[in-house]
Structure 1
């Protein structure tokens, strides 16, 4: 407790020394009881809160005899009192801390000085950083301005290039379409007239498809003339001398048919249009086999899956027909008689039905998938066949018997081929080229009109 009193600065009482009369010694017990031991909790709190950094040097000197005493060791004190052992350990710790602190204090001062200097330096560094950031912000601003200027320059260059391209395209467009203006103006005017006359023209064409097929060209002309007289009397608007070819015929398509072997006479052209437009399958009266050759060539050129030729006398003609229906082939049935096989009934009636979302047709006892690419043609060599009404209503009966005009055209072609083969070859080449160029011209016109009507934005931007 004496060591604790010294550390806390508690003054001792001076009492007589029992071993040496006339002298006084220091007694810490009574002051210790009064100042330290009176309240154990307060003592513990004072020990915890002791100002170890400001221990007076005088107290350190006074406690040294205790520190150096072998009896003032925790192990020795513990033999007498465990409570005093803790105070002993605390006193020795405070003494040790004092001397360690004396060694550390200069370093602390230097640390404080270094920290102060560091703070000043960091302030200067921060100032320099702020100045640098200001410079960097200025550089960024200048770079953004430069990028904006470059982007504007590039945009202006693109606009110049675009305007130049538009100017070039405009010149080409004006040059290319300038000559078409008059023709298109006339076409628009003609379309307006055709629209008014559409009713009468379609009436004549529909009647031609329905009724003129079996007849010769002369009789067809007489019937059409009578029909013209009737619609004139009924004041039905129509194009003068309108006929099937002028109303429904496409010159490019007709030329391609002629390249495929269709005779060039009016009768054959009308028959080909009926083959294309009629809903029923055609039965062609073809004693000279001209239509037969034309259908074969047409099937080779336009049939996606080719063409198969068969006859009713063939054992497998029904199998051929079934394969054609299934795989979308063109089927040409040659040499039919005045009576048609009953197995053809579903084909002629086009008895197609849906089964699980797919088109099907029943041929005999077999249900066959029906391809939309399937086409069916029949030809007969009989010059003047007599088909009963129940057959006529199921087919498009067309008379391909050769006419004097057609015979004249063919004889002329044969003579030219024999007498002037080079000229005939040149003629055939010109026919083919003319058909191709007419088709190409039609495609170009359609493309131009489509682009003009469906162009979005500036039409000159479409390269």
Structure 2
């Protein structure tokens, strides 16, 4: 201090506080000296204070002072003996010594810090505890998040498998539906064919009988095509009847009710002829069969134009050429038709 060996009153007030809170002396004990007024022994901090202030590490000790672990006993002594003193005021102390003023402020600051620290310490401990719990909770949360990601990955894979199974199920269901429809159609077909059994039996029996009469029937059909094309229906019927009798006399088997349509006709072809304009009566159909199977070119007497219409419609797709003897290009058209095989 500025006063060296002197002992001013206001500086003396700061000294005990410094001795009690000094980190190096660790609660320095005062000297016991007689009180000049009463003669009783009393505490004197002046001597210990001079020793503390004379330490070369004094300022460093103030900077490194462990303010978070001040003994309760020291704070209690400061509050009971030092702080209540009215002279322990920086404004008053600075009149005696500027160094004492700084020490006074330092002691007051330490006391205030201790009070605040006692309030904050539990909160700080609670904060540290909460932070520790938070860290544990976050670690557990990360574990749960990792587990959640793993579950989500498994769920994604399972969803992919589910979609694939749904697709396969849809395909199988479509196949089942298609097979069911085919089975229904097959059952309907079998049911329909079952109703045709009687007709098939009749047809088979008829074909069996016609097998034995085939030679005679073909002979009669050949005769009709070769010789009876130019005659009327009545003459054909009479001549055919005579031929049937003659064939029987010669020992050949033929149908008793001979029909050129049944021997050489085809139902589908005849139906197509009818569509092209051929009349559906038996005489017209027989004439068409003769025209189709004859090896000679037919001469058709057609006063009603029915044969003309039928031939034109039937050969239209084959580029039929229609000519008359009076045409100037008659020869050229006929030549081209023969050359390119056109009707």
Larger helix share, 1 or 2 = 2
Greater strand percent: which structure?
Answer: 1
TM bracket (short chain): 0.3 to 0.5
Instruction: Choose 1 or 2 for highest CA Rg.
Output: 2
TM-score under structure 1 length normalisation: 0.35
Q: Which one scores higher on RCO, CA 8 angstroms, separation ≥ 6?
A: 1
Q: TM-score, normalised by structure 2?
A: 0.45
